Chain A
Amino acid sequence: MGPLIPQGIIPMGWDFVIALLIGIAFGFVLEASGFSSSRNITGVFYGYNFVVLRVFFTAVVVAMIGLQYFDYFGWIDLNQIYVLPTFLSPMIVGAIIMGVGFVLGGFCPGTSYTAIAIGKIDAMVFTGGLFLGIFLFSEFFPFFEQFYYSGNMGSITIGEFFGISNNLVTLIFVVIAVIAFYVTWRIELRVRKNMTQYKF
């Protein structure tokens, strides 16, 4: 029963080998889906290319459904799955900062690594910026340490927050995803038709 490494079914020694293999699969899918191109990625914000939404939402839904079924079949102990803890205010601030960084940079960290791999200079500068940003954060950490740890809600799940089961959350996600796929497909058709400057 999974998860395999925390349960000791796969020894810890394999941890980094598996990390590398998982990373390779992750990077391959990102690049093959078109995430090594910043103009592909930012298309999601201007309506000319919703590839980010399609890949992202499909991945979330597949992994969510998979985890629920693995749990249902007794293949995985969901209690041993790491649920990212929620720190309300710092996460709100962080997400807003990242949103601006996304539109300016055209990448997020993972996608920038794959773009570097195929020779994009803008991705190298973006990753350099990441390094500098995390350095600045660390240097000035004492000034906002209190804020950084504020609003700690622990490892609260979406279902717990809204008082529903996570199975229902998954179902809602599937419905929203299908609607979003349809709506954005229609939007994309219209935007591309009216675009003269940048065609696909």
Chain B
Amino acid sequence: MNQEIDIQDRPKYINPYFGGVLLGLVLLITFYITGRGLGASGAVKSAVVTTVDKVAPDHAEQNTYMKAFITDDHSPMFNWLVFESFGIFIGGLLSGALFGRIKKLRIEKSPSITNKTRLFAAGIGGILFGIGSQFGRGCSSGAALSGTASSSFGGLLVMLLMFGTGYLVAYFFRKLWI
């Protein structure tokens, strides 16, 4: 019964190839101006380092991973990727407003699972992405997209293996989506 309403209410998105060309141009301009590509997970890393540094400064200084991002003259939040990621949020807000997709807080999921299941899976997915992006030297934006576009072998490797693994395990998690 919900299905019909669902179809009618389905938001209109721009043509994916057009979207791809736009994204490619944004990426190209980013390389042209800054010499580097786009990113997303780096901002959360800065937030983690900042939080730990505020709560337990000694602990952060002793951590061999985090101390590399701590300097005396400015906060780890004063970082290119933090500003860029804040921009991603604003960009999403603008597009959402333009196409009428900003609505009250909601959970998107397959009708065959509960909200609790969806949120649990989203949380675990986030944790895995957080860990994986550190080993992978970036996430879908920094490693897979920007890395591959700048002909980095590692970027290509991350892209192929990330999507490849997705296809391998998709069957086991199909209830979450279809």
Report which A residues bind B (CB closer than 8 A). Answer: 2-6, 10, 15-16, 18-34, 36-40, 42-46, 48, 50-51, 54-64, 66-67, 70, 75-76, 80-88, 90-123, 125-139, 141-142, 145, 148, 153, 155-161, 166, 169-170, 181, 195, 197-200
Chain B residues with CB under 8 Å of chain A are: 3, 6-7, 10-11, 13-14, 16-17, 19-38, 40-41, 44-45, 47-49, 51-52, 63-66, 78, 80-81, 83-96, 98-99, 101-112, 118-119, 121-170, 173-174, 176-178
A-B contact pairs, 23 of them (CB 8 A): A3-B31, A3-B33, A22-B84, A23-B88, A27-B89, A33-B13, A38-B177, A39-B177, A63-B24, A66-B28, A84-B150, A90-B137, A103-B169, A108-B140, A109-B139, A110-B139, A112-B126, A121-B107, A125-B123, A128-B126, A138-B49, A141-B63, A198-B3
Known contacts A19-B83, A26-B84, A138-B48: does B20 contact A58 (CB below 8 Å)?
yes
Q: Kindly identify which residue among B6, B51, B125, B163 contacts A129, using a CB–CB cutoff of 8 Å.
A: B125
Q: Which of chain A's residues have a CB closer than 8 A to the CB of B52? A: 135, 138
Task: For the complex, give the distance between the alpha carbons of A67 and B170 in Å.
Answer: 34
Query: Does the CB pair A66–B92 fall under 8 Å?
Result: no
- B interface secondary structure, majority: helix
Query: How far is B57's CA from A16's CA once the two chains are assembled, in angstroms?
Result: 26
Q: Are A99 and B84 in contact (CB under 8 A)?
A: no
Q: For B143, what are the chain A residues with a Cβ–Cβ distance below 8 Å?
A: 84, 91, 95
Q: How far is the CB of A123 from chain B (nearest CB, A)?
A: 7
Query: Whole-angstrom distance between the alpha carbons of A76 and B31 in the complex?
Result: 9
A80 CA to B34 CA, complexed, in Å: 10
B144 vs chain A, min Cβ distance (A): 8
B157 lies within 8 A of A92 (CB): yes
Known: A20-B83, A103-B166. A84 touches B142 (CB 8 A): yes
Distance in angstroms between the alpha carbons of A173 and B56 in the assembled complex: 47
Q: Which of B20, B26, B48: most chain A CB closer than 10 A? A: B20
Contact flag A5-B34 (CB < 8 Å), given A27-B90, A153-B153:
yes
Contacts of A84 in B (CB 8 A): 137-138, 142-143, 146-147, 150, 152, 154-155
Given the known interface contacts A19-B83, A119-B104, the answer about A97 and B128 at a Cβ–Cβ threshold of 8 Å is yes
